[in-house]
Structure 1
Amino acid sequence: MRKGSPATLLAVLVALVACVPPGDADGDRDIGTRVEARLAGLDATGALWAKHIPTGREIAINPDLPMNALSVIKIPIMVKAFQDHAEGRLDLDAHYAVETDDMRRGSGLIQTFTPGFQPTLRDLVTQMIITSDNTATDMVIDLVGMERVNEMLASNGYEQTRLKHTTHRLFLETWIRADPAHASLTEREVFERGFPSDEGAAVRSFEIEGDSTIWLGRTTAREMGRLLEQILDAGLVDRDASDEMLEILAAQFYTTRLPRRVRFQGVGVAHKTGDWPPHAGNDVGILFYEGGPAIISVFTNQNRGDFFELEETLGQIAQDIVEAWR
C-alpha cells in the first residue's frame, strides 16, 4: 500500500470499518478534554471539529463559530471547477495564459514565472491547493465565478461558508488601510508594491485578519469538515473526480501543522492550510491510517502568541486524535 495515497487507502477502508469497535464514551471525553486544553492554551480564537469516519465519533470546540477561512476557502473553489468540468462548462485540460495583470503576491510560485506561459485549468487548480498559489486562485475564481461558488455552497446546505473576495481585493485592502487614496491602485501596482511595511503595518494587518467584512472567505470548523466529508464520500462530483481532488489535497506542500508529527507515523494527510502569519494559521484535512480515516478541521484566528507554538499545537492535536481513534 502506498503511504499517503487517499485512493489506495479508500480501497481498504471498507474492509477495515467492519472491524472497528464502537466508541468508548470515557475515551471520547478524555480526547475531547485533551484537545480542548491544547487549543485553549493558545492566545488565539480557536475552533475545531473532528470526526472519526468509521464510528461517527466527534470532537466539537466552537464548531459553529464563524472564522476567517483564509486559503482554506480555496477548497470549495476547487470543487466548483471540478463540477464545471463534469457539466461541460469548463475543461480542466484547457490552457489559459497567465498575463502580467494576473500576477498576485503572497503564497505560490506562479508569480515568479515569465508572463505569457499557459498552464491548464487543472494545473491552476492544483497549484491553488498544493502551494496555495494566489495567482492561480484569482484566475480560477474568474473562470468559475464567485457567486456560483457561493450558490453551490448554499444549495448543499452550507449556511456560513462563503467566498467573499479575491486575493487581489484582500491585498488591496492592506494599502487602503494605510491610505484611502490607494483605492485606485491597479492590479499590477498592488503586485509591484507588495505589502505595506510602515510602522503601523503590523497593527493594521492584525485588524484586517479580524475584520469579517473583508475576509477572503468565511466558514466554520464544522462546515469545512463536512465539505471534506462530502469530497471523501463523492457527494459533490463522481468517484473519479473526488479521488482526484483527494490526491491534490494529499500533495499539499505545507506540512507544519496537521501533518507535522503524524506524517512520520504512517499517516497520509489530504489537507489545505490557510495562512496569515503570525495572526492566523488554519488547517483542515482527512487523515488516512489503519483504523481511520478521521477528519480534522481546525482554525486559529487573531493569534497574539508565538506562531511556532501555534503550528506545533495543531500537530499535537492531530497526533492526539490519531492515537485515540486508531
Structure 2
Amino acid sequence: MEESRARVGSPPGGRVGARVEAELVRCRVAEAFAAAGSGGFVHAVDIDSGVQFEYGADEAVLLASVCKIPVLVELYARSDEGTVDLSGRVHVPEGGRSPGPTGLSVMLDPIDVSLRDLAYWMMSVSDNAATDILCDLLGIDAINARMSGLGLKEVRLEGTCRDIYAAFDEEFGGADVLDLSDTQAERLRASRVLHIPSATRGTPRSITALLSMIWRNQAASAKACAAMRRILGLQVWPHRLRSGFPDDAVAVAGKTGTLPFVRNEVGVVEYPDGGRYAVAVFTCPHSPAYVNPPADAVIGTVARAAVDYIRAAQPTG
C-alpha cells in the first residue's frame, strides 16, 4: 500500500493556498510516519461541516480491535429493535474464555454480568472474552449485514478474537507471536490474520463515517447512540490518540487496535467551541514489537495535524 496514493481533502472553494497547505500537512504526516518507523493511513472529518483530511483514506486496513465498534453498534441497534435486553445477564464460567491480556480473558472466577457491562469491558479495556461473548450472541454475519445496511460495506469482520488466536496457534505451533525470533517475525508477516481480504478489515474513511453516525444519532436511536458515546469515552488508554490533544478541555473518545505490525486508534475529538472531529489513524510499524512508544506517539501526532488542518480550513463568513 503506497502512501503516495494519499489525498488530502481541500476545504470549500479549492483555493490554491489551501491546496498548498494541504500538501504541506500531507508531507508532515509522511515525515512523522517515517520517523516512527511505520507506514500509515489517516482520515479525519468535521462531523458537522464535512471538511476533511485524507491520507490513504480509502485503503483497506486491518482493524484489529477497532472491529469492536461495529459489535457495539450491532448490540445497541438490536436493543432498539427489542431483540436484545441490555440488562440481561450472562453467566461466564471460569474456563473456555477467549484469550487476551485484559478483562474477563485473565480473570479467574465465574461471574454473572449484564450485556451492557460486557460492552463496557469490550470497549474500555478491549476485553477479548467479553467481545466474543457478544459476537456469539449477535452473530458475525448480522454485524456485517448491519455495516452494509449503514452503507459501510468496506467494514467486514472475518471472525472472532478467538479465531485470531487460533490462527496464530496453528501457524506458529502455539508460540507467543509477541516473542518470536527475527526469522519467525518475518514469517508472521505472511499470517492470514494480517492479510486482506482474509483478515477483519475496513478503511479509514468507513470508520470515521461510522463514528460520525454514532455522534449524529444515525447509527441507532438517539438514546442508544448516547450510550455508545459514553462507552467510547471510557477507554482507559491515553497514550495514542489522546497524546495529540493533552488539554483537559478537549474530550477524546476512541478505540485502539493492536496486532503484530498493526497499531491503530480511531475516535472523536471534541473542542470546547463545539467542534467535533472523527479521526481514524491506522499504522503498520516495521517492527512487530508489542512495546513500541514511537508507533503509539505518531498516532497522536498525525491526528493533531489532521484536526488542526480541518479547523484552519473552515469556511469563513
TM-score relative to the length of structure 2: 0.83
Q: 1:144 to 1:23 in 2, by over 3 A?
A: farther
Bigger shift: residues 56-65 or 262-271: 262-271
Q: Which residue identity is paired with 1:166? A: T
**Conservation of the 8 A alpha-carbon contact between 1:174 and 1:196:** no
Bigger shift: residues 167-176 or 94-103: 94-103
User: Does 2:262 align with 1:280?
Assistant: yes
**Conservation of the 8 A alpha-carbon contact between 2:88 and 2:115:** yes
Q: Which residue identity is paired with 1:211? A: H
- 1:142 equivalent in structure 2: 136
Q: 1:144 to 1:38 in 2, by over 3 A?
A: same
**Conservation of the 8 A alpha-carbon contact between 1:77 and 1:141:** yes
Deviations 1:183-219 (A, max 9, x none): xxxxxxxxxx86584545433333335322542x210
Deviations 1:218-271 (A, max 9, x none): 100000110001111111211111011011101111111111131335210111
Mapped to 1, the partners of 2:103 and 2:221 lie a distance apart of: 30
Mapped to 1, the partners of 2:287 and 2:259 lie a distance apart of: 12
Q: 1:204 to 1:138 in 2, by over 3 A?
A: farther
**Consecutive unaligned residues in structure 1, runs of 5 or more:** 1-20, 183-192
- 2:195 equivalent in structure 1: 211
Deviations 1:12-55 (A, max 9, x none): xxxxxxxxx97894356525532453245334332111112333
Q: 1:246 to 1:28 in 2, by over 3 A?
A: farther
**Conservation of the 8 A alpha-carbon contact between 2:240 and 2:297:** yes
**Conservation of the 8 A alpha-carbon contact between 2:86 and 2:115:** yes
- 2:123 equivalent in structure 1: 129
- SS of residue paired to 1:225: helix
Mapped to 1, the partners of 2:13 and 2:302 lie a distance apart of: 19
Deviations 1:92-149 (A, max 9, x none): 1011011234422224221232332011100111111111100001100001110000
Mapped to 1, the partners of 2:85 and 2:96 lie a distance apart of: 20
Q: 1:125 to 1:236 in 2, by over 3 A?
A: same
Residue 305 of structure 1: how far off its partner (Å): 8.7
> Kindly, what percent of the aligned residue pairs are identical?
25
Q: 1:22 to 1:109 in 2, by over 3 A?
A: same
- 1:13 equivalent in structure 2: none
Q: 1:228 to 1:196 in 2, by over 3 A?
A: closer
- 2:92 equivalent in structure 1: 98
Mapped to 2, the partners of 1:64 and 1:24 lie a distance apart of: 21
- SS of residue paired to 2:57: coil
- SS of residue paired to 2:144: helix
Q: 1:59 to 1:36 in 2, by over 3 A?
A: farther
Q: Which residue identity is paired with 1:223? A: S
Q: 1:145 to 1:86 in 2, by over 3 A?
A: same
Mapped to 1, the partners of 2:87 and 2:293 lie a distance apart of: 39
**Consecutive unaligned residues in structure 2, runs of 5 or more:** 1-10, 313-317
Q: 1:90 to 1:323 in 2, by over 3 A?
A: same
User: Does 2:33 align with 1:50?
Assistant: no
**Conservation of the 8 A alpha-carbon contact between 1:259 and 1:318:** no
Residue 314 of structure 1: how far off its partner (Å): 1.3
TM-score relative to the length of structure 1: 0.81
Mapped to 1, the partners of 2:178 and 2:47 lie a distance apart of: 44
